[in-house]
Structure 1
Amino acid sequence: MNIRHGITFVLVLCSTFLFAQKPTSPVDLVYPLADSKNSRWFFFNSASRPFGMVNLSPDTDVEGAWGSGYRYESDSIKGFSHIHAWQLSGISVMPLVDFSLSDSRDFGSPFNHSKEIVKPGYHQVYLDRYRVQVELTSTLRTGFHRYHFEEEGKQQVLLRIGSMLGPSAIIDGSIKQSSSMAFQGHIINGSTSRRPFETPVFFAIKFNRAVQDMEGWNPNEVTPNLAEIKGSDSGLIFSFDNSSSELLMKIGISYVSAEQALLNMDTELNHWDFEKVKNESFEEWNSYLSRIKVSGGSEKSQKRFYTDLWHALQGRRTISDVDGKYADMTSGKHLVKQIPLDNAGKPKHRHFNSDSFWGAQWTINTLWHLVYPEITEEFVNSMLLYYQDGGLIPRGPSGGNYTYVMTGASSTPFIVSAYQKGIRGFDIQMAYEGLLKNHRSGGIMEKAGYEHNTLLGGGFQYYLKNGFVPWPIPEGRFGAHQDGPSLTLEYAYQDWTLAQLAKQMGDSEAYSEFMERARYYQNVYDSETGWMRPRNVSGEWKTPFDPYQYNAGFNEANGSQATWFVPHDLDGLAELMGGKEKAIDRLNESFITSEKQGFTSGTSHSQEAHPEYRRIPINYGNQPSIQTAFIFQKLGRPDLTHFWTRAIVDRVYSELSPNSGYNGDEDQGLMGSLAVLMKVGLFQMNGGTEENPSYQIGSPIFDEISIQLNPNYYPGGNFIIKTLNNQPDNIHVKSAEFNGEGLNQLELRHQQIISGGELVLEMSPTPNQR
């Protein structure tokens, strides 16, 4: 064994011993590899801070948004890239040894999970081909690499300038040398069908040792000339002497300029102490995760809980710089703008990249607004920046672009819920103005998914004229998800939420307008079949009609799943079905049938349309029907809510394995958030959008849950949930007391919760009435 091999062996052994100890903090409980077999580009995270601009992790697969990034069953690492975001990628690097461009462009290396450590904020892996141990950590905007080389040969680091990387092709870029240890440059994410404009990302690189020589290539030839390294297939290899087995590298990024990338790096990381940054990352993650403390249950259930909570804080990324500069791409031009500064000269908030808020009304609306209200406030202010820059409040922006991901005006419930819960650090007049625009002609509600250039795909004109969106839309296809009944249901709910804000704003005319439209869901309910059903532009029902046919008028769902999407008027829906008892019986039968299939359409989103899985009545692997278990409670049967939520948690959200974990479409923390809420026993059917919103009380899986309330927003200190006799078979809430007083119904209001106190739930076996 040579000296360097011995050093690496000891490091691996010590690290393995350290991380194998009994978990002592939330970070130690998180299992980042959950469901990583089914990963997509922005799904897997390791060396990243909460909402980090940098999301540094290994890439085993680099083609497309789906099935890319880090995939557990892939056996070769192609590089380590710094951006894993909605429709964005970039800055891929790879340590090499004695590599020659004249021989090959195959840079990948096999690796083995037995030599791998993955934690929130840290990733360690060993590259078998090059015999290099790689360690990764980060600040918010800077990636930090530590490499230990075993080989005596030439130590090298590859930087890819142009290549296919996840959701977008890196079509061009450039690099220039600042000193023997520093470089700056940029890459360009080519436009995609979802992100309409080419989007630059800038970088600054520093090494802790001088670069000895460089060799690069462009699409035509190998070249040592930095000015010629550009194009869709290009890159550069830095070479170093082997005077030390350790090499450190920092890479700062910015969407504004290379100078800003350097500013981000120098501000956040002005030293070379890797251990310090790694530990600071652990501390930051612990500060977020420990806002909810759980006790009781198994160690596995606690690990899975903190894995879910970690997911709830992933995916949505910071895109503004440390000084508040950001890139506005809403017009297609790269415009540099400035976030307002506070009295101390610091940005008042950040700007964000984000996937859709489609389904957020049942997930992050409740979790973020209660536990992380400061994050909610930043996101609302970020949405208002997009409104000021581009004229619309977005539903899923990417690097300063609008993407028009999914459908409707999904940001409306998020913003309305924030305001109703007392999160008021934003311009409510501007927000209301923008939301009104989104819900009227010319607004974002008119646009179907990824409809960049027209306003026809959402069928909005028919919704206003006829009270429903037809299917098919007569004008043709202009985007994705042009599914009439689903659009009608979504618009009606979102209109109801905006009506609640109109009431708060004293706008009685708008309140009446949107409350009337909130009843339009009734126009796609077919009393003959008892399902929501597509109608054509003449009003005729789709014939033949199969309520289990997938994507036939229903967005990522079938008619059975979508029928229950009336979260704002379940009493009205039950009346259409012939009364509450009939509605409960029908929904219960749907759950009994769905249980046979594990409550999901397969074990990953890619299986959802498979003929053997798509005919499921309820699907907890995607957003359209994830509220259904709590419908029982709203219709007077909380025992069925408790029974089915426990069954769903057990079958869908309990595994700790790379092969499963979310069983569907974990869209940037939405399913993680849902799992957290079901496990602590709190839910909000209408997204928490009414005045002093109500929380439905479910069946917690832990003996005690303590939620630390942010004192800058809420006065209560802690909200504690205690369960008595909480055994595996005792899943029914027999009685409930809040601050010593009995509850007549299993609900609490927002003001009660944020004032702090203790909710005590006595658990018992569920009644045999299902």
Structure 2
Amino acid sequence: MKRHLGLVCFVGALLLLISIGCTSTPSPSDGGSKEESTPQLPQLVEGDVTQFVNPFIATGGAGFAVGSAHPGPNAPFGLVKVSPDTADKEGINFSHCAGYAYTDEYIVGFSHIHLYGTGVPDYGNLLFMPVASPIASDILSTKVQRSSYKKESEVAQTGYYKVHLDKPNTTVELTASTRTAYHRYTFKDKNTPHNVLIRLDHALPGGNVRDGHIHITSDKTFEGWLHSDGAMSKPGGGFMLYFVAKSKTPFQATTWKDDKIQLKELEQKGPKVGAFLTFPKDQTTVELQVGISMTGLAQAKQNLDKEGNNWDFEAQRQNTKQAWQDLLSRVRIAGGSQDQKTMFYTSLYHSYQMPTILSDTDGSYTGFDKKQHKAQGFTYYTDFSMWDTYRTLHPLLVLLLPKHQNDMVRSLLAMAKEGGYLPRWPLATGYTGTMVGASADIVIADTYIKGVRDFDAEAAYKAMTFLAMNPTPPGAKYGGRRDIEHYASKGYVQANKHSGAASVTMEFAYNDFAIAQMAKAMGKTKDVETYMKRSENYKHVWDDKMKFFRAKNADGTWFNDEFKDTVWTKDYVEGTAWQYLFFVPHDMDGLSTLFGGKDALLKRLDEFFELSFNEYEARERKLGLKKYYWHGNEPDLHVATMYILLGKPSLGQKWVRWIMDTRYENSPKGLAGNDDAGTLSAWYAFNAMGLYPIPGRDLYLITSPIFTRTQMTIEGKTIEIHALGASDKTKYVKKAWLNGKELPNLWLKHTELLKDGNVLRLELSDTP
């Protein structure tokens, strides 16, 4: 996207747009107006919208601006995310949480499972790599195994990846279905060996394969399993990964163990095992299909049998592309630049990477009790980065893919039933305890109050309130709510016992608000009062003298004597005092009172964004931590939209556009930080359409759309947003009409928006 650093364009005259309205004339009681004529609407993009997806966005960046995306193919929410793992010249793969960095010179191999957009690495297991040298133990050295490649040979599209490896002079092509990977290797040199290295010991940094087993079952098939744990999955005992693979053509197999070649053995077991597959030199094209499961070998074979095909790589590539087309085309847009269209559809693409489908084709999955279960009537998901995703991603899924979101909630409830507790950050088949708060409360409540309710609400409510009321045992893997006794009795988490206590207290208050909203929707009146009172506990960590939230000790004294408002301290979780200053999304009135009134809060918001703008312009600490607004992290993602609730929408629209223009671009360094499982992408998708959620409330704020027309198709309903004239300059929404009736404020309810045939018409201007 073209970057615009100016904040406000005071150029041009006020542009009054023509009403669109509905086809019937509103009555005087509507309070709205209807134009006599309807202008011709902009033409929506037609046909293939996957052409606007650039999987290389967010695969680059440096320092804290690493996007952590992978360019390899996968089906929507697919378990298989087969993608290159890379390293630099020195063999270092720092910040390769998804295995890949755009600027790296070498490809180490192609592993089958990856996380998307995270700030901590895990997965990167079961690596394949074509090699064109004689079988020898030195190949098992990463620096020998790896190959350089030319960037111009690299292609990434929805459902397809291609690259040419220099050293083996081999072109690699990949595609994938939900649980099966498809490899096609074309060896260019007939005079060199055509070998494929299989490594069961490979994992991303921080990962460790504890055990593994590979068995060559015929001259065309092999299978096995591995037990791995990574930086996040280790607390939950790691995970088992099973695979069954087949080749289109016969091969000769050689196994290896502990870096030693085992010429006569067809089976190996241990933490460092694998194989070489050798193909005839006149066999220039090699095709492999690999079925994956975290349940068992039988399920991996079943997944391969049901998702594999008759060796038609191109057909599978098109099938996966069509699966993406089916989801992405549910939103069609008009207007905007080519880069903005690309950012939008890539944002949707990245929003549909995680959570990950874990259940097999027959519904089997390994539960958090490490036993086999079956998902009856739903798809079971894992890999929920909820401290991040509750803010934007899950609200986007509630809006655009409610059935998927419903299954995700059912998956969380299955984890609670089988593991005993709702998770914080579930990965693979276990708890990680990563991050803070009880974000599942917000995810579940937000889903329920917006009418997506095909799950056991009573079981959900019981699981939510159990963690809210009961202490977490020491060393518990599920995380829970730490120091909940003190929080419940005194209103805050003790800083002398727990790091990040100010942030955790504020998260708990928001969690309690979500429970209160769930209780209200379920008719639990008494509980509403209890949890609404607790939702005000953020006030207990407000320092009225300093006008910041601060961590507090058990005796009521402030934790940090030398208070610093622009550096990360133990008061907060991944943020500064400024970045947490406005983290009360659920209670704008209460926050205003702390500041001394709405005007005082607005003044502080103005100061925050002016400081943020100056920091950005000066490029201070470009690769490091930010002092003020930091779009590369989560706590202040909502802050620009606060202006709308406070009655100053033009300021909110100004800063939302500034963020969109300066923190997103159509390039490998296209995000301001880790996408965190689609959190930043979902933020862009919402605001590009002109909407923004308040998780836990049935509201969308109207921000500043960049498209002149947006059409959403949601479970048979068609909803349109018309913002005629929207452009880089014309970004200020003056008025809004829903079906011809003027809205009193620039927000509306989910239930109001989500009616078939609805038209939300926005009047925009190029002046505030």
Partner of 1:5: none
**Cα displacement (A) at 1:167:** 4.6
Offset of residue 365 of structure 1: 3.0
| Matching residue of 2:219 | 180
Question: 2:535 corresponds to which residue?
Answer: 518
DSSP-derived class of the 2:563 partner: coil
Work out which of the residue numbers 94, 115, 136 in structure 1 matches 2:153.
Answer: 115
Is the 1:214–1:237 contact (alpha carbons within 8 Å) kept by the matching residues of 2?
yes
- The one of 686, 696, 699 aligned to 1:677: 686
Distance 1:63 1:452 in 2: 34
Match of 2:605, as an amino acid? L
Aligned to 1:336: 372
CA distance change for structure 1 residues 509 and 169 in 2, over 3 Å: closer, same or farther? same
Deviation at 1:76, TM superposition (A): 0.9
Q: 1:638 aligns with which of 636, 642, 649?
A: 649
Which residue among 211, 233, 249 is the counterpart of 1:209? Answer: 249
Q: 2:596, 2:714 → 1: CA distance?
A: 43
- After the TM superposition, which residues 582-593 of structure 1 pair with which residues of structure 2 at under 5 Å, given as runs? 582-593=600-611
Quote the Cα distance in structure 1 between the aligned partners of 2:490 and 2:477.
24
Shift in alpha-carbon separation, 1:726–1:270, aligned structure 2, 3 A:
closer
State the one-letter code of the partner of 2:238: E
Q: Does the 8 A contact of 2:131 with 2:168 survive in 1?
A: yes
Counterpart secondary structure, 1:488: helix
Distance 1:455 1:426, change over 3 A: closer
Q: In 2 relative to 1, CA 591–207 (structure 1 residues): closer, same or farther, beyond 3 Å?
A: same
* 2:334 is aligned with 1:295: yes
- SS of the residue corresponding to residue 726 of structure 2 reads coil
Give the corresponding residue for 1:469: 493
Q: Residues 672, 544 of structure 1: CA spacing in aligned structure 2 closer, same or farther, 3 A cutoff?
A: same
Amino acid at match of 2:83: S
Q: Deviations over 1:663-708 (max 9, x none)?
A: 11210101100111111111123x1x24xx1211111011111111
1:178-216 deviations in whole A, cap 9, x for unaligned? 2220111011113546532032100001000111x2223
Mapped contact 1:600–1:621 kept (Cα < 8 A): no
Distance 1:244-1:455 versus aligned 2 partners, 3 A rule? closer
For structure 1, the 5+ residue unaligned runs are: 1-21, 341-347, 712-716
Matched, 1:253 2:292: yes
Code of the residue aligned with 2:131 in structure 1: it is L
The residue number in structure 2 matching 1:708 is 713
* 1:73 aligns with one of 94, 103, 107: 103
- The aligned amino acid for 1:725 is G
Q: How many residues align?
A: 705
Q: Give the letter aligned to residue 96 of structure 1.
A: V
Q: Distance in 1 between the 2:496 and 2:404 partners?
A: 39
Is 1:695 aligned to residue 700 of structure 2?
Answer: yes
Provide the C-alpha distance between the structure 2 equivalents of 1:193 and 1:423, rounded to a whole number of angstroms.
30
Q: Are 1:598 and 1:651, in contact at CA under 8 Å, matched by a contact in 2?
A: no
Q: Which amino acid aligns with 1:268?
A: E
Q: Please say if 1:656 is aligned against 2:666.
A: yes
Let me know the Cα RMSD of the aligned residues: 2.3
The answer on 1:312 being equivalent to 2:348 is: no
2:543 maps to amino acid: D
* Shift in Å, 1:356: 2.1
Residue 185 (structure 2) pairs with residue 161 (structure 1): no
CA deviation after TM superposition for structure 1 residue 366, in Å: 2.2
CA distance in structure 1 between the partners assigned to 2:222 and 2:618 by the alignment: 48
In structure 2, stretches of 5+ residues that fail to align are: 1-44, 116-120
Q: Which residue of 2 aligns with 1:741?
A: 741
Residue of structure 2 equivalent to 1:93: 128
- Structure 1 residues 401, 183: closer, same or farther in 2, change over 3 A? same
Determine the C-alpha separation between the residues in 2 that align with 1:665 and 1:502.
34
Equivalences for 1:358-377 in 2 at 5 Å? 358-377=387-406
- Tell me by how many angstroms 1:361 deviates: 3.4
* Higher mean C-alpha displacement, 546-555 vs 282-291: 546-555
TM-score (norm 2): 0.88
Does the Cα contact within 8 Å between 1:29 and 1:307 map onto a contact in 2?
yes
Distance 2:689 2:481 in 1: 39
- 2:594 aligned with 1:576, yes or no? yes
* Cα distance in 2, alignment partners of residues 411 and 671 from structure 1: 19
Residue 456 of structure 1 deviates from its aligned partner by: 9.4
Deviation at 1:95, TM superposition (A): 1.2
Structure 1 position 326 matched with structure 2 position 365: yes
Shift in Å at residue 601 of structure 1? Answer: 9.4
Q: 1:136 aligns with which of 174, 183, 192?
A: 174
Residue correspondence of structure 1 range 548-563 to structure 2 within 5 A: 548-563=566-581
Query: Percent of pairs identical after alignment?
Result: 30
Letter in 2 for 1:94: M
Give the whole-Å Cα distance in 2 for the aligned partners of 1:589 and 1:140. Answer: 48
Alignment pair present for 1:726 and 2:726: yes
Question: For the residues of structure 2 that align with 1:422 and 1:525, how far apart are their CA atoms?
Answer: 35
What is the SS of the residue equivalent to 2:578? helix
SS state at 1:573 partner: helix
Specify which of 541, 551, 561 is matched with residue 543 of structure 1. Answer: 561
Q: In structure 2, the residue corresponding to 1:633 is in which secondary structure?
A: helix
Question: Which residue does the alignment assign to 1:9?
Answer: none
- Structure 2 CA distance, aligned partners of 1:139 and 1:288? 15
- Alignment CA distance shift 1:675-1:598 (3 Å): farther
| Cross-structure match for 2:79 | 53
Secondary structure class of the residue paired with 2:414: helix
Report if the CA contact (8 A) 1:666-1:672 is conserved. Answer: yes
CA contact (8 A) 1:201 1:253 kept: yes
Alpha-carbon separation, structure 2, partners of 1:454 and 1:129: 45
Q: Which residue in the other structure is 2:12 paired with? A: none
The residue aligned with 1:501 is: 518
CA distance in 2, matches of 1:220, 1:641: 59
**Matches of 1:646 and 1:631 in 2, distance apart?**
14
The match for 1:762 is 763
The residue that corresponds to 1:29 in the other structure is: 52
Return the letter of the residue paired with 2:262.
T
The SS at the match of 1:701 is: coil
Q: How does 1:338-417 map to 2 (within 5 A)?
A: 338-340=374-376, 348-417=377-446
Conservation of the 8 A alpha-carbon contact between 1:55 and 1:84: yes
State the Cα distance separating 1:320 from its structure 2 match: 1.3
In 2, Cα distance between the equivalents of 1:729 and 1:638? 16
For residues 312 and 296 of structure 1, the distance between their equivalents in structure 2, rounded to whole angstroms, comes to 22
- The alpha carbon displacement at 1:222 in A equals 1.7
Tell me the CA shift for residue 81 of structure 1.
Answer: 0.7
Q: Distance in 1 between matches of 2:113 and 2:400?
A: 27
* Mapping 1:263-278, distance limit 5 Å: 263-278=302-317
Moved more, 318-327 or 361-370: 361-370
Q: Which has the higher contact order (CA 8 A, sep 6+)?
A: 2
TM-score norm. by structure 1 comes to 0.88
The CA distance in 1 between the partners of 2:391 and 2:618, in whole Å, is 17
Q: 1:291 to 1:456 in 2, by over 3 A?
A: closer
Cα distance change on mapping 1:724 and 1:603 into 2, 3 Å: farther
| Distance in 2 of aligned mates of 1:738 and 1:354 | 37
Question: Does the CA-based 8 Å contact 2:125-2:202 persist in structure 1?
Answer: no
Deviation readout 1:254-297 (Å, 9 max, x if unpaired) = 11111210100101113210010001111111111111111101
Check the 8 A contact 1:63/1:164 in 2, yes or no. Answer: no
CA positional deviation for 1:622:
0.5
